């Protein structure tokens, strides 16, 4: 079992991008479902004022990292 972390923080990303990527509570269900559908078997999203991180375990194929990265890129 592989657990992957994809994210950004105040150490690596300027504030305007972190603001676009941050998730509101109302968005979490849709985000989790889309990541699961994209290939992550289990997903946890941590979104605070300083960082957004996606922790994902691979499903049947190794798509968890790609799904998490793509998700953040489309928001940012």
Catalytic entry in 49, 50, 62, 73:
49
CB 18 within 8 A of CB 10: yes
Both tokens of 56, joined, read 């994902």
User: Which residues does residue 53 pair with via DSSP β-bridges, in sequence order?
Assistant: 7, 46
49 is annotated as an active-site residue:
yes
Task: Give the residue numbers marked as catalytic.
Answer: 49
């Amino acid at each position: 079992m592989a657990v992957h972390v994809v994210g950004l923080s105040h150490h690596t990303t300027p504030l305007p991008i972190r603001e676009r990527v941050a998730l509101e509570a109302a968005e979490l269900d849709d985000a989790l479902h889309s990541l699961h559908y994209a290939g992550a078997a289990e997903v946890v999203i941590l979104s605070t004022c300083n960082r957004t991180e996606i922790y994902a375990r691979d499903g049947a194929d190794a798509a968890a990292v790609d799904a998490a990265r793509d998700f953040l890129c489309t928001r940012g």
